[in-house]
Amino acid sequence: LLSAEAVWDHVAILPDELPFAIGDIVSVLDYSSHAELWYGSCRERTGWFPSSYVRVLNGSTASSESIPSSYFPQSMRFLRAKIVQELMQTERDYVNLLQNIVQGFVEQCRRRSDLFPAARVQRLFGNIESIYALHCKFLRELELAFNQSIPESSAIGTVFLRNRSKFAIYSEYCNNRPVSSAELAALTEQPHYYQFFEVCFEKLINSVGV
């Protein structure tokens, strides 16, 4: 079988991915199905990993005939494809939701500065616009890594690792959440604010065709 040395740490994001650390020796069980995603074993575990995370050791050879098909059964490929597709759709749906909040509420509030001065908008929505911008970029990177014809070969784990530190902005949003909830509760008790939010919601519903 093909042997390779890990040149990067690989953190398993999906349950069928293979974790390893720099310097680990990985036995490659399937390298012919997909150029960018290989299947192998390391430290008594098996799973998928990006081929760019390892370097093939000199003198290591293999043939596809020597690799038992039980190492990468079709059922496992199907399951991975389904997980990747669901993850992609979930992220698309989330970006659409964030877009609706930003365009349907945040921007509308800013247009009525008489009702919503900047400080009030900040209390209500926190850094939701920064979160929206982050996920728009994150989704674009996922789409580039997503292989539509062979979803199970999509090396999306690297996209998560590349962006992991950026998700720290959620701490600011979560810290502001109690303030946001209290502000919204107080405003909706006042008829003119309640009506404003109702109109925003109705416009949003009509725009998305629900």
Domain layout of the chain by residue ranges: 2-71, 74-208
- pLDDT tens-digit readout, 153-171: 888 887 888 888 999 999 9
Whole-model pTM: value is 0.69
- pLDDT tens-digit readout, 26-55: 999 887 666 788 889 999 999 989 988 999
User: Higher model confidence: residue 174 or residue 162?
Assistant: 174
User: Is residue 172 a contact partner of residue 147, using CB atoms and an 8 Å limit?
Assistant: no
Going 105 to 106 to 109 to 111, the CA torsion angle's sign is negative
Q: How many CB atoms lie within 10 A of CB 71?
A: 15
Do 2-71 and 74-208 come out as alike in CATH topology? Answer: no
CATH number of 2-71: 2.30.30.40
| CATH superfamily membership of 74-208 | Dbl homology (DH) domain (1.20.900.10)
Give which of 150, 168, 174, 163 is closest to 13, Cα–Cα.
163
